[in-house]
A and B are shown apart, each in its own frame.
Chain A
Amino acid sequence: MPRPILSSALAAAGGLWLIRNLHVVTLQLPDEAAQGAVYRNLFFHVPAWFTCFTAFAFAGLAGIAYIVRKRMVFDTLAVACVEAGVAFTLIGLATGSIWARIIWGIWWTWDARLTWALITCLVYFGYLMLRESLDDPTSRARISAVFSTFAFVSVAITYKSIEWWRTQHPGPVLDFRTGGGQIDKAMQSALYHNWGALMLIAAALVLIRMRQEDSRRELEALRRYVHAQ
């Protein structure tokens, strides 16, 4: 299937799934006993983080694949995943901060999870800035591949930080991390549904961004050709 049609289909499916999930989250699920209505932010917060972690994992794997195979398509995939991942990282940070303002009474605190989440966000912003500073496509791809491979360490630390350091951020609640009993089944199901929907939207954004990277390479090749004339 051509990329534009596939990205449109994924975006449409993701959008419809999100609408269905919004109906469940806002109209079917009850308020949380201690937190009230604001806990519903977590149905975006947690899936947004899972989505960006997945995107960064793909970027890391694409980085390794580029180092091994030297094919530009892996560099294209890596940058597209990182950019989409950064968008979802910002969503995770913003929704978490808004939730914290009501539940903790503060917008931000330098606890282990929040600090590592911010570091991860800055590391991947750094990746995007680094790419912009490199003109030669081959050097850009090679250096970016090494960067994206090692940057994933920051994602792993962010993911594990709520187990390694028990600070302000709540600990894991989902069954696959705790063995069960920490979260209502219906709420957990809604979280997974939203993750699925956000993953489809992220996949659509990655495909669109990959197309743009191809266009950017075409533009750079044309510029070189014009200068050589």
Chain B
Amino acid sequence: MDDRNFTFLFYGFAAAWGILAAYVVTLASRESNLKRQIENLKRMLEDKETSKS
């Protein structure tokens, strides 16, 4: 049997797992980014309220 069959089988599996992994990494980085931004805004609001009082 043609060895390229196995090479391309590997490419196919690697592509499937790679795309899935890339999406999970994107989700994780977006999540940490969102959390950081929310924390920053909450801190900014607290600072504003403290300086007002």
Question: A residues within 8 A CB of B41?
Answer: 219, 222-223, 226
Interface mask (B1-24 → A, CB under 8 Å = 1, otherwise 0):
110111011011101100110011
User: Is B16's CB under 8 angstroms from A212's CB?
Assistant: no
Question: A residues within 8 A CB of B44?
Answer: 226
What size tier do the contact residues of chain A reach? 35 or more
User: Is A229's CB under 8 angstroms from B48's CB?
Assistant: yes
What size tier do the contact residues of chain B reach? 20 to 34
Interface mask (A184-224 → B, CB under 8 Å = 1, otherwise 0):
00000000000000000100010011011001101100110
Identify whether the interface residues of A are mostly helix, strand, loop, or mixed. Answer: helix
By CB atoms of chain A within 10 A, which of B4, B27, B31 has the most?
Answer: B27
Contact of A219 among B8, B15, B38 (CB under 8 A): B38
Contact of B12 among A38, A84, A218 (CB under 8 A): A38
Question: B residues within 8 A CB of A212?
Answer: 27, 30-31, 34
* Interface residue? A54 (CB, 8 A): no
Give chain B nearest CB distance to A32 CB in angstroms.
10
Give chain B nearest CB distance to A52 CB in angstroms.
12
User: Is A37's CB under 8 angstroms from B27's CB?
Assistant: no
